[in-house]
Amino acid sequence: MRARLLFLLRTYVVTVLLFMVAKVVFMLCNSSGHGVTAADYVQVIGHGLTLDLSTALYILIIPFFVALMSVWVRVPQWVLRIYFGVVAVALALAFVADTSLYAFWGFKLDASCLQYLEQPEGMTQSVSRGYLLLRLLAIIIVAIGVFMAYTFRRRKPRRYNRSPRRRYLPAAIAETVFYVLMVPLMVIGIRGGVHESTTNIGQAYFSQNQFLNHAAVNPVFSFLYSLSHQMGDTTGYDFFDEATCEQLIANVYTTESLLTDTLLTTPRPDIVVILMESAGEAFASAMPHLQQLKQEGINFSRCYANSWRTDRGTVCALSGYPSFPTLSVMKMPEKSRTLPALAHTLQAEGYQTSYLYGGDINFTNMRSYLISTGWEHLTSMDDFTASERRSAQWGVRDDITFAVLFREITGEPGKSGKSGKAGGSGKAGKTGKTGKSGKPGKSGKTGESGLSGEPGQHHLWGFSTLSSHEPWDVPLRRHPDAMLNAFAYLDDCLGTFVDSLRKSPRWDNLLIVLTADHGINYQHIDQSRPLEKNHIPMLWIGGAVRAPRTIDVLCNQSDLCATLLGQMAMPHADFTFSRDVLSATYSYPTAVHNYHNAQWIADSTGHVLYDFDAHRYLVNQSADSVRLLQVSKAILQTTLTNLKQR
């Protein structure tokens, strides 16, 4: 048993070490122009370790089962030699391709490289034959080296694979039981733990220097992950020819802002975007503070969620990008990193950016999306004390995270424990520790500068709440209905937060944008009643608001980016699917929502909900349903085409 376990341990350790060496070689070959320091090598290896450990378990699966079989029968040595030969070639291909292609692609090895196998002439046209021959030689050398690393022995190995003699039967049974018990642990290791999130590329991201993030990502994992998150066959959504499609949506997406007035007192306010978990207008009765704030700010009274999930809704709100019936763009890093983003645009204008989420920020690849789209400082569940992390099922309770957000905005004491470890540790943004005393700690950027900031420095803060989510475990008992009770708690937290900010010097130049990531089913309100379920708030409040106003125009949460940037007189042509709903160019107001394989659309004629699997209307309340369905299909076809081309 000892020999078998040492063999498995050695195989696992060798695999992890190979991944580490590959990272160093990758950085040495591609670091030019990226400002890499010696300390960055350590950071990259440390932050990529979790992906390496998980990926190494995949490679250990076959040796593990060979070791298990060898308890009872003799397994020839050549079986493992063939396996390690295959692994060596696969790793060599991955390491060399990843290191070589990065200079051309600027991102990690993924499944998109497979398209070149179908048309290899594309490679020969891009690089010289000498270049290809050198890479082929490198693959051979690396494969030999990897194979030797797996099979090298300083002495003849013990014959661990012989079946036991009869007198050792109890020991064989005990060893077999041990291996069986190890299987769940390996599954947990591959999965990345027992939390809601599974192992994903985003957990290796730690820096605003994207090269370092890419270097930390395991190329084998990146390839396998992208392979399992492909768009798949979307030909079922090719409804029209290109000309017809363009004609149908000619007035739907307009990117130009033509304004006659402004809603803000300043073109450069400090901005807070708060995505309230599941807070559809169906819960308005439980949120009196929010209803009062609507009387004080700019209320977009006919705003609708694009999707039904947080990962989709977050991308819609922060990137002004549409959602899709069967795809999550956030889970596709090779796509999400190409999106326009409010944070990127404001960052280019000198804004500092930070994002706060009290849950697992690795869930649905959220970390990589946020960092890739310009959020410099991230504070998440891991940056709080153990007791705070256990304050709710999904992570840190909203009253705690609202207090941290207040402290980050104002620099005044908050009530939280640890908040925002940083740059060097990779937890993105050293916001400092508040501890029990609630005093703010050292502030800093993904490295050095503060979140509450220096005078004259503009800021964008993002914040996702989480307590208004099942199992509705909140420290409030106001309603017998658990869901209403949770939204009442969120409303209380929001009211306290806004009241406190009013007393802060930050208030006069502050714009707070309140909206929801999506709506949810409640009692009789479900997907069969899209007008009620998908209706969400979008409210602008703060000292930067010129006067209260109701904007009674049909729109989506994805229109936030263009509308806000239009008010700030900033260009937003790259936000192709985000409309400035205050512009004179917004001549055809529409709202779209999709889920699973269905899409809902509303305009001035009414609304329809269509199931693409059943090929029938689920809701048809439009005076011109045939045309409206055609527009809906054209929107889906156009947006999917855009996503495929990214």
> Phi, psi at residue 444, to the nearest 5°?
-175, 165
Question: Is 496 exposed, middle or buried, given 0-12, 13-18 or 19+ CB atoms closer than 10 A?
Answer: middle
Residue 618 in contact with residue 528, Cβ under 8 Å? yes
Beta bridge partners of 594: 599
Copy the structure tokens of residue 397: 């309770």
Report the alpha-carbon distance of residue 643 to residue 597 in Å, rounded: 17
Q: Is the dihedral of CA 573, 579, 582, 585 positive or negative?
A: positive
Residue 447 in contact with residue 422, Cβ under 8 Å? yes
Find, among 64, 17, 29, 1, the residue nearest to 134 by Cα: 29
Cα 208 to chain center, whole Å?
15
CA torsion, ordered 576, 597, 560, 336, to nearest 10 deg = -60
**Interacting residues of 175 by C-beta distance below 8 A, sequence separation 6+:** 1, 4, 71
Copy the structure tokens of residue 601: 């659309």
Tell me the residue ranges of DSSP E strands in 517-554.
Answer: 538-541, 549-551
Peptide bond before residue 170 is cis, with ω within 30 degrees of 0: no
Mapping DSSP to helix (H, G, I), strand (E, B) and coil, where does residue 392 land?
strand
- Strands 606-611 and 598-603 come out as antiparallel
Report the alpha-carbon distance of residue 9 to residue 438 in Å, rounded: 46
Residue 245 in contact with residue 637, Cβ under 8 Å? yes
pLDDT for the residue numbered 139: 95
Find, among 292, 267, 301, 279, the residue nearest to 498 by Cα: 292
Report the alpha-carbon distance of residue 402 to residue 421 in Å, rounded: 18
Report the alpha-carbon distance of residue 100 to residue 258 in Å, rounded: 47
10-residue averages of pLDDT along the chain (646 residues): 89 97 96 92 95 95 93 91 96 94 78 59 62 93 96 62 58 89 91 78 85 93 79 81 95 86 94 98 97 98 96 97 92 92 97 97 92 96 95 95 97 52 34 36 35 69 96 94 97 98 96 97 91 97 98 98 96 96 95 92 97 88 97 97 94
Report the alpha-carbon distance of residue 422 to residue 432 in Å, rounded: 8
Q: Is the dihedral of CA 171, 177, 180, 182 positive or negative?
A: negative
292 CB neighbour count, 10 Å cutoff: 12
Find, among 204, 213, 202, the residue nearest to 36 by Cα: 213
pLDDT for the residue numbered 446: 36
Tell me the residue ranges of DSSP E strands in 43-100.
Answer: none
Q: What is the 3-state secondary structure (H, E, C) of 531-588?
A: HHHCECCEEEECCCECCCEEECCCEEHHHHHHHHHHHCCCCCCCCCCCCCCCCCCCCC
Taking CA atoms, 82 is separated from 61, 86, 89, 149, in Å, by: 15, 6, 11, 14
pLDDT for the residue numbered 229: 65
Residue 278 in contact with residue 519, Cβ under 8 Å? yes
Report the alpha-carbon distance of residue 50 to residue 42 in Å, rounded: 14
> Phi, psi at residue 222, to the nearest 5°?
-60, -45
**Helix locations, 152-286, DSSP H:** 169-191, 210-216, 219-228, 242-248
Task: With residue 491 as reference, give the H or E element that holds it.
Answer: helix 482-502
pLDDT for the residue numbered 156: 55
Angle of helix 129-151 versus helix 2-30 axis, rounded to 10: 160
Let me know how long the chain is. 646
Q: If you search the block for the tokens 């994207």, which residue do you land on? A: 210
Task: With residue 13 as reference, give the H or E element that holds it.
Answer: helix 2-30
Report the alpha-carbon distance of residue 535 to residue 473 in Å, rounded: 24
> Phi, psi at residue 149, to the nearest 5°?
-65, -35
End-to-end Cα, the chain, rounded Å: 52
- Print burial letters for 60-97: b (CB count within 10 Å at least 16), e (below 16): bebbbebbbbbbeeebeeeebeeebbebbbebbbbbbb
pLDDT for the residue numbered 198: 80
> Phi, psi at residue 50, to the nearest 5°?
-65, -40
Report the alpha-carbon distance of residue 263 to residue 553 in Å, rounded: 15
Report the alpha-carbon distance of residue 570 to residue 565 in Å, rounded: 5
pLDDT for the residue numbered 110: 75
Report the alpha-carbon distance of residue 484 to residue 488 in Å, rounded: 6
Report the alpha-carbon distance of residue 120 to residue 248 in Å, rounded: 38
